[in-house]
């Protein structure tokens, strides 16, 4: 969504026994904060701390943020460079910057993940980005000040708000023909828009009317209006579809709206000039960007209270919160030497190197377990800064020479940041 003119964007030891099996990697729930002053702050919602900041040398003045349905891609608009930054979220690295229209504002990803839709505020257009090729395949003219954007649950239509003075409107794009097929009148200066989880409603924030309009998707008509605070900007819905959280940028608060009755239940005081809001997948917490405070407020939705404040980058605007699966890892086993002893065997220099599959970067500080091909434990080692794990092992005569000469298996169980991996290595006689 576009800010008011005064803030417009310018600019992861050897042992003789195997360690207990770890729980299956669960992934992380991460928040992506687009800072208008530069960079994307990544919040780990388990600790409510910024775990990393993503910089894109080809982008400037990040604006809104969206995360693909499966959590493996993030998309951020850059209002000065006129680009869309694509982030690989498991590794939090930039894959590409895609040229779009003038002053891109909103971005939404189709439920199937096949396309991303970018509103270009100064062009009055929507860029259609193929997420497989990461290229713009169509440009749809929608009208002046194209701002908020959302895709219907079935992917058949895209709803676009227009941040214009006076009575606002929402354009509806048919995704098959990529043409505007309907226009819906809403309140003044329509900005953010959100879709209900069941796909039956769209909720539009009317900045100039201090209200939220409810649109019935089937009939494409407004079926309700809720009054909120002064100059609302952002909106997020609870997963069960009963509540909306709306930021009031000139009221330094968030309105909680009952979507059944379309009435405001309460206001929650947050930081200075709240802009956007996003909820965790379980709906337990809401994260609010505070433009003038350079912070994100964390709201416990059960109690309706602010439970934390997180320092992020300068002038945070957009935010998306999503489950992110572990990054794929790669384990490359080397070779070892077998030495015969009187009562057994010594296997020297078992080694394997652990790296991130997407970036090739080494993964340090992780345990690698070495076993025979039949599963007999050999040793366990921790990866170094170069991602290499090395250890020696003592094996009894019961293991058998023939088994040892078949080689070894190196395995990494994985964690929330990186998935598990295994590989086969060779053992030769000294």
What is the 8-class DSSP label of residue 36? T
Pairwise CA distance, residues 37 & 313, whole Å: 7
Q: What is the pLDDT of residues 232-288, one digit of tens each?
A: 999 999 999 999 999 999 999 999 999 999 999 999 999 999 999 999 999 999 999
What pLDDT does 215 receive?
98
403: which DSSP letter? H
CA 89 – CA 68 distance, rounded (Å): 9
d(CA 9, CA 3): 8
Per-residue model confidence (pLDDT) at position 12: 26
Q: Are strands 421-429 and 335-340 parallel, antiparallel or unpaired?
A: parallel
pLDDT at 60 over 90: no
| Nearest Cα to Cα of residue 107 among 73, 78, 148, 72 | 148
Q: What is the mean pLDDT of residues 10-14?
A: 25
Residue-level pLDDT at 69: 78
Residue 27 CB contacts under 8 Å (≥ 6 apart), including other chains: 71, 323, 324, 325, 326, 416
Distance between CA 229 and CA 366 in Å, rounded?
Answer: 50
pLDDT at 109: 96
Residue 352 β-bridge partners: 333, 389
Query: For residue 335, what pLDDT is reported?
Result: 96
Q: Domains of the chain (ranges plus CATH)?
A: 28-324 (2.130.10.10), 329-429 (2.60.40)
For residues 193 and 148, the answer to whether their CB atoms sit within 8 Å is: yes
Question: In this predicted structure, what is the pLDDT of residue 414?
Answer: 96
Which of 80-84, 111-115, 234-238 shows the lowest per-residue confidence on average (mean pLDDT)?
111-115
pLDDT digits (tens, 9 = 90+) for 40-53: 999 999 999 999 99
| Measured torsion, CA atoms of residues 341, 343, 344, 345, in degrees rounded to the nearest 10 | -20
User: Length of the chain in residues, anyone?
Assistant: 430
Q: What is the pLDDT of residue 24?
A: 47
Distances (CA, A) of 211 to 187, 203, 305, 396: 7, 10, 22, 76
Confidence of residue 430 (pLDDT cuts 50, 70, 90): confident
pLDDT at 67: 87
Give yes or no for residue 22 having a pLDDT over 50: no
Q: Where are the beta strands (DSSP E) in 252-382?
A: 253-258, 263-269, 274-279, 285-290, 295-300, 305-311, 316-324, 329-333, 335-340, 344-356, 367-372, 377-382
Q: Across the strands, what pairs with 255?
A: 246, 267
Contact between 231 and 251 (Cβ < 8 Å): yes
- pLDDT (0 to 100) of residue 323: 95
SS3 of residue 109 by DSSP: strand
Residue-level pLDDT at 5: 34
Give burial (CB, 10 Å; 0-12/13-18/19+) of 53.
middle
* Sign of the C-alpha dihedral computed for residues 127, 130, 135 and 138 taken in this order: negative
Angle at 243 between CA 270 and CA 304, to 5 degrees: 40
Query: What burial class does residue 158 get, using C-beta atoms within 10 Å of its C-beta: 0-12 exposed, 13-18 middle, 19+ buried?
Result: buried
Output the pTM of the full model. Answer: 0.91
Calculate mean pLDDT across residues 185-213: 97
Over residues 284-326, the pLDDT tens digits come to 999 999 999 999 999 999 999 999 999 999 999 999 999 999 9
**Residue 10 above 70 pLDDT?**
no
Give the whole-number percent of the chain exceeding pLDDT 90.
90
Percent of the chain with pLDDT over 70: 94
User: What value does the mean pLDDT of the chain take?
Assistant: 93
């Amino acid at each position: 969504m576009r800010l008011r003119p005064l803030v417009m964007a310018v600019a992861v030891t050897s042992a003789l026994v195997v360690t207990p099996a770890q729980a299956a990697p669960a992934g992380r729930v991460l928040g992506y904060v687009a800072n208008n002053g530069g960079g994307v702050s990544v919040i780990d919602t388990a600790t409510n701390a910024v775990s990393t900041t993503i910089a894109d040398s080809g982008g400037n003045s990040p604006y809104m943020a969206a995360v693909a349905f499966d959590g493996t891609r993030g998309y951020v608009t850059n209002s000065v460079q006129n680009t869309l930054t694509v982030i690989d979220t498991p590794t939090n690295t930039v894959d590409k910057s895609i040229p779009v229209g003038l002053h891109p504002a909103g971005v939404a990803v189709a439920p199937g993940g096949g396309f991303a839709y970018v509103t270009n505020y100064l062009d009055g257009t929507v860029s259609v980005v193929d997420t497989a090729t990461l290229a713009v395949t169509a440009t749809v003219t929608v009208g002046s000040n194209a701002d908020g954007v959302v895709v219907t649950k079935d992917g058949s239509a895209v709803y676009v708000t227009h941040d214009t003075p006076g009575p606002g409107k929402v354009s509806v794009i048919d995704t098959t023909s990529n043409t505007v097929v309907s226009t819906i009148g809403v309140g003044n200066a329509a900005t953010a828009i959100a879709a209900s989880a069941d796909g039956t409603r769209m909720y539009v924030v009317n900045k100039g009317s201090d209200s939220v309009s409810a649109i019935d998707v089937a009939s494409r008509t407004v079926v309700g209006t809720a009054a909120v605070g002064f100059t609302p900007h952002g909106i997020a819905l609870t997963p069960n579809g009963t509540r909306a959280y709306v930021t009031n940028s000139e009221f330094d608060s968030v309105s909680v709206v009952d979507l059944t009755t379309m009435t405001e239940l309460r206001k929650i005081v947050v930081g200075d000039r709240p802009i956007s809001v996003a909820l965790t997948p379980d709906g337990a917490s809401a994260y609010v960007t505070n433009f003038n405070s350079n912070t994100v407020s964390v709201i416990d939705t059960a109690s309706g209270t602010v439970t934390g404040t997180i320092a992020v980058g300068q002038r945070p605007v957009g935010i998306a919160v999503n489950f992110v699966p572990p990054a794929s890892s790669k384990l490359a086993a080397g070779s070892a030497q077998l030495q015969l002893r009187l009562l057994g065997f010594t296997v020297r220099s078992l080694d394997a190197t652990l790296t991130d599959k997407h970036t090739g970067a080494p993964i340090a500080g992780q345990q690698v377990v070495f076993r025979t091909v039949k599963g007999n434990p050999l040793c366990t080692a921790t990866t170094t800064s170069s991602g290499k794990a090395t250890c020696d092992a003592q094996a009894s005569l019961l293991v058998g020479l023939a088994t040892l000469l078949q080689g070894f298996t190196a395995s990494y169980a994985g964690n929330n940041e990186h998935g598990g991996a295994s590989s086969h290595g060779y053992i030769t006689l000294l």
